[in-house]
Structure 1
């Protein structure tokens, strides 16, 4: 039996023949050119619709000199914080006809150079979200990645950036705990290569200078649920009554570990996170945290990158977002603490503040 040949793909020549125009005219119409007579353009679009013609993406990219794709590099896509940023970026980019390619470095800074360069080669621009590479590496790589937008980092030159005031955010959490009578605190530190972790440490140094009566212990930890869970024994050994975790995932793991050790939260020890990921409100007890405008970070990253793609000489903007304390059930008065009067309201600040 003779095999049926595969259905032939409808091409630009078929549309040109039906519309009675040249191949070049069809190409200009399909690429959105405004130089074609409106009546002819309508005839071409009608023919394309009748034939169910779909432009070849590769050919269209070559003709336009762009892919209508951008890349984003994140250190850990398993972290809901980065998922929220990605969601904001993807939705905003899609509204302008762009798609997003994702690269995950798995918290391996040595892989970031390769992945960032590959993401840039495959798209029209790139967003680096909280890269772990050193400042020297970032500044050396930045010229080759333009157009580029940074999230939670800054680079020399004219690269726009969007960052969170982590120093102020962790100070606000420490103030929240101090206001509840906690005088022994622990900070579960994130990766040494994390710029946001360094900012948190800077904020805590400011806090301890202004609160000499508060004892602060810093314990190396990590970024994951498992890291927080494993840290529980070390936290309890410090006899601290208040803990600030690097992020919400670490705080959630710590809640689990403290429960396994029989510690009551917040009766014996109070716990705070950072980021306010969607799950933070549904832990047991619900997690007190510093809320970051994650979706907005992603949206604004696209708007900045879009300006770079469309404008020959864009205005470079560096935007800093302030966090706000979301007080929930995981924090309470220190054991034996009796408030002298009405408790001060948790520090809150508008989001964002632009510098």
Structure 2
């Protein structure tokens, strides 16, 4: 049976992932913080964006090719950074970097990945982006940026929406430590997931290798107090300027939902703004990221590049974000649901799902290019009552 018949949508991959990874891994991947109200808020905001279908337009041939920050991509979709990616699926960083290079999508490696930038940069090649959680020590900051640049990463993403750790209660209940401290319960969970277990044996225990080069721990730190958190600063505007001075390539600032912040970041030298509420993993009281997007676009004008993430699950969601002002979209959890479901093949399959869904919906809307989605926008008001 073909993958399209067994897993026609991301929701099918998500369900398979939940069955194939240990429960403590699932809780890390799928959880947010607090009551997790941001996740359904993101979903409701996307569902409220409606388009006018087009008729009598003749044959439509969608062109998904997208240029962003001086690079050509196969479609306006990329792979957002997720920390401890290799915990979710063994070898995740290398698998996603390879898929990104093959399919011509950007792959953003997290500072708190389980593999080093020197390992992943050559695999991602010209599709590689590097995400920086801001270290407190200027020497560590400079060293990490030098290593990322030497490893071949051309675009830097500075995440600014983590002034401190969040509770992430589901992770605490799952007793997840970094690196994982195996309990009898965890061993039982692992025994029920043989593919994950065997893969982990091949790739080794998931560790935050880059951060451990700067700080040694005893292995008992909870997932909300791992080396990345202990080394991390609460960045301010001077910090952004310092990073700008150190990085000579494109600089993206991630985690922005306030228009005035976007304006000031543009004037500080950012090359792109990444509109995001961190998937609800940091602040349960945040608005839907999509609600912030048109406000930021209106404030900064038409020329400043904008990236969006916040619950994107389909090609139609990509078009919704583009219609409200984004130039590019990112998924984080989605690629890892796909890896958990099918391994590296799952990531390739998700790329095909998104590509096909983009093209299918563009034909329904009479569009030849994704960036023209705003031309068919019907409404982006409150989600209708059901």
Rg larger in 1 or in 2? 1
Structure with greater contact order relative to length (CA < 8 Å, sep ≥ 6): 2
Q: Same fold (TM over 0.5)?
A: no
Which bin holds the TM-score, normalised by the shorter protein? Answer: under 0.3
| Structure whose residues are more often helix by fraction | 2
> TM-score, normalised to structure 1's length?
0.28
